[in-house]
Chain A
Amino acid sequence: MQESELREIKALKVVDARGTSCPGPLLETKKAMTAVPVGGVLETLSSDEGSRQDIPAWAKKVGQEFLGFVTESGYDRLFVKRVK
């Protein structure tokens, strides 16, 4: 997805994992995903640079769709769509 498209996304749930170290943001994402209905998007805020690789790797493993991330000042917003 293009950055402009990602910025348009209205996530059903936002989990703020900023300030936690790896694998904190990944664990928070996994936990929060259970509260997102199929078709909904979860947004994770992370200041851990590893999340850019970890969250898509996790999404691929569990069969969810990683949409991409946008970078803000000092953190990223990462988007995962629940597809099943």
Chain B
Amino acid sequence: MTEKMAIVLFSGTVDKILAAGIITSGAIAMDMDVDIFLSFWGLAAFHKDMAGKDMRMSKDFEDMAPMFLKAMQKKNIPSWYDTLKKAKGMGNVKIHACSMTMDVMEWKKGDFVDLVDDVIGVGSFIGMASDAKMTLFI
């Protein structure tokens, strides 16, 4: 059976989403399936009004953000969107939106970028995580 990784993506800053994307790509390269559960700010970042436009970074390293973004551009590091898009094209990556966050914010599935596969509750995610070899909270 294929090994699985489960990720809770709670954070919505580009540095953390990119890290989730790179770890996902690595898992795909290593022949694992990946389930990503987007909740709170992690889900907000996948909203069409935010994705690709909102470039905010972790508050604790805010002073280094302009330097970091510039360095990433110079090195042609793909965006988190492109990183996840490519990972989805190469392997079994499913991205799930948290129904509770959607309820609070009054969002519909159509409000999110095309990377989002479906809407699930935390119970379903726990089911996925219990089958996974490792689970990360980012």
Give the interface of A toward B (CB within 8 A): 19-23, 26-27, 29-31, 54, 57-58, 61-62
Contact = CB atoms under 8 A, between A and B. Distances in A.
Interface stretch (B7-15, B28-36, B56-64): B28-36
Interface range on chain B (Cβ under 8 Å from partner): 10 to 19
Interface in B82-97: 86, 90
Contacts of B25: 23, 27
Contact of A27 (B75, B77, B90): B90
**Which 7 interchain pairs have the tightest Cβ spacing?**
A26-B29, A23-B26, A23-B25, A30-B29, A27-B29, A61-B30, A23-B29
Query: Chain A's interface: helix, strand, loop or mixed, by majority?
Result: helix
A55 to B, nearest CB: 10
Contacts of A54: 26, 29
Nearest to B29: A26
B71 to A, nearest CB: 11
